[in-house]
């Protein structure tokens, strides 16, 4: 069973961003499944790296849209993005050093951050982008 299930409550009203968010849900669900199946130790590194890489791409796309429409909350939004990347890179570094394995704390952090970020920060820009013709 998936840890995170996409629903309309997560939609930001921009198709391309919603699709990217569903991919992020998928990566977190893959990490959760690996942990539940006892494959956390072997799968954490590769899955975390994919998650970080895709998250960077997603953030760049999102920020480009916000920049193009002169979104007034862009600076704060970028800060939140950088904070997440820094935190996840910390998990990757810990894992690479052998200090950490995939565990419930990591899964909870990632799922909480993603769902809260989408439902709060991302929903804040939803109507702005839509009013500037981005759908």
pLDDT of residue 62: 97
C-alpha angle 32-25-100 in degrees, rounded to nearest 5: 40
Q: DSSP for 17-62?
A: HHHHHHHHHHHHHHHHHHHHTT-HHHHHHHHHHHHHHHHHHHHHHH
What is residue 78's predicted lDDT score, i.e. its pLDDT? Answer: 96
Q: Which domains does the chain have, with CATH numbers?
A: 13-131 (1.20.120.50)
Number of H helices, E strands in the chain: 5, 0
Retrieve residue 104's tokens: 């419930």
Overall pTM > 0.85? yes
End-to-end CA distance of the chain: 31
Q: Please, what are the averages of pLDDT over each run of 10 residues along the chain (135 residues)?
A: 91 96 94 86 84 94 97 95 90 79 78 91 93 94
CA distances from 106 to 37, 70, 89, 115 (A): 16, 34, 12, 14
**Predicted pLDDT at 72:** 97
Interior CA angle at 8 toward 7 and 12, to 5°? 120
């Amino acid at each position: 069973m998936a840890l995170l299930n996409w629903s309309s409550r997560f939609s930001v009203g921009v198709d391309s961003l919603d699709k990217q968010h569903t991919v992020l849900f998928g990566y977190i669900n893959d990490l959760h499944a690996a942990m539940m199946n006892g494959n956390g130790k072997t799968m954490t590194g590769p899955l975390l790296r994919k998650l970080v890489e895709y998250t960077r791409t997603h953030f760049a796309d999102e920020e480009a849209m916000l920049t193009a429409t002169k979104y007034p909350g862009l600076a704060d939004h970028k800060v939140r993005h950088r904070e997440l990347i820094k935190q996840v890179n910390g998990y990757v570094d810990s894992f690479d050093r052998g200090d950490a394995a995939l565990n419930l704390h990591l899964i909870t952090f990632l799922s909480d951050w993603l769902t809260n970020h989408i439902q709060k920060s991302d929903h804040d820009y939803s109507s702005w982008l839509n009013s500037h013709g981005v759908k």
